[in-house]
Structure 1
Amino acid sequence: MSSSIKLQYLSKKSIKEILNSVISRKEISEKFIEFLQNAEDVKMGYTEDFEIYVFDAIPALFRVKDFKIYIPTLYALNYFLNTYKIHIVPSVVVDHGAIEPLKRGADVMMPGIKKINQMFKKEDIVGVLEPQEKYFIVVGIALIDSNNIVIGGKGKCIANISRLDDKIWRASLQLAKSLG
């Protein structure tokens, strides 16, 4: 565990507040919510920039400084996709050309989207899959409703909140390894 991530247990009250916040988000999968509700061990890893909430050794949710909402981590999105074939949140698939800019932190632009897997509303949490749909590369917030996304259209449509190999991704891997 690197010295930059501090770890603490959460009170039952704090856990309940987090769960209520997640349950209120209509776009989050019920199966994922059940997993969170049934977790016996909940900890929070934190730095000055973000918090990661670990449920039964799975870094499941995170929150960044400027956002009040709890967002499923890329670790959780990929774990649930590859272990249970569950999409925790609505998702889009991007083309190969979009991958590198996204991994550098760019927002998702309409021309990069190849497919919408599940409809979503503006401000919903959305996962972004690579072209083969084997893993998520970004989790973000919808800037527009999915029905306003035109394949080949112009403009930003999903704000990039966390991406593969960013600080949150690396901290999630570190927490999973040290607590798993």
Structure 2
Amino acid sequence: MQIITVVKRYFLSNKDIKELSNAVGELGPIFRNAKKVEVYELNETTTVYLIDDKPLVAKLTVKIDSGQREYVIPLLTYFYLNPTYIPSYPTITVDDGAVPHIVNGADVMRPGIKDISGEFGIGDLLMIKDLKGRYVGIGISLMTSDEMKSTTKGKVIKVIHHLGDKLWNLSQELLKAK
């Protein structure tokens, strides 16, 4: 197992929590209802937020094409700790053959997709589920929902977080430590 180094670790003030909750859209209530928020800066591109001692949200800077874009995402741990939470993000359901590839870090190829739910554009966040409805990854769309529905081949989603990745493993370690 790989040890993850935390470069910087600190707590947010109530004012900072409020500002963050207003800036992260759908994830805002997670922060608004928190008693404490601890920040783990892992490197210049990855920050994990522990909300009341649970690793629930991450901020990632992702290289896309020639630029970079910042995303604030729920960690997959959040879905397993809060099974009733249903995100409003568009969702892609993949077949059983795609799941092992995704959890080993592969991006999503069009032939592995069984269902596309919701409208989205290039660069939008997508939730990736298996046929049993379990979240296995979070990705960034490389095309619009209409383009994805009409194409039959090629890479269509860049996976930025998946079961078994560094963020997932860190989350599991942090949950065990509490």
* Residue in 2 that maps onto 1:124: 124
Give how far 1:17 is off. Answer: 4.1
TM-score relative to the length of structure 1:
0.80
Amino acid at match of 2:176: K
- Structure 1 pair 38–103 and aligned structure 2 pair: CA distance change class (3 A): same
Counterparts of residues 1-180 of structure 1 (less than 5 Å): 4-5=5-6, 7-23=9-25, 28=26, 32-48=27-43, 50-66=46-62, 67-80=69-82, 82=83, 84-87=84-87, 89-133=89-133, 135-150=134-149, 153-179=152-178
SS of 2:170's partner is helix
- Structure 1 pair 107–40 and aligned structure 2 pair: CA distance change class (3 A): same
| Greater CA drift, 3-12 or 156-165 | 3-12
Query: Is the contact made by 2:130 and 2:136 (CA closer than 8 Å) also made in structure 1?
Result: yes
May I ask how many residue pairs the two structures share in their alignment?
Answer: 168
Work out the CA distance in 1 between the residues paired with 2:81 and 2:148. Answer: 27
Give how far 1:163 is off. Answer: 1.0
Give how far 1:73 is off. Answer: 1.0
Give how far 1:153 is off. Answer: 1.0
Higher relative strand content: 2
Higher RCO (C-alpha 8 Å, min separation 6): 1
- CA RMSD, 1 decimal: 2.4
Query: Is the contact made by 1:110 and 1:151 (CA closer than 8 Å) also made in structure 2?
Result: no
Higher relative helix content: 1
Amino acid at match of 1:132: K
Work out the CA distance in 2 between the residues paired with 1:151 and 1:106. Answer: 22
Identity of aligned residues (%): 31
- Structure 1 pair 176–129 and aligned structure 2 pair: CA distance change class (3 A): same
Unaligned stretches of 5+ residues in structure 2: 63-68
**Over residues 19-69 of structure 1, what are the superposed CA-to-partner deviations in whole Å (9 max), with x where a residue is unaligned?**
23312xxxx4xxx43232211111112322621111123322112344422
Amino acid at match of 1:162: H
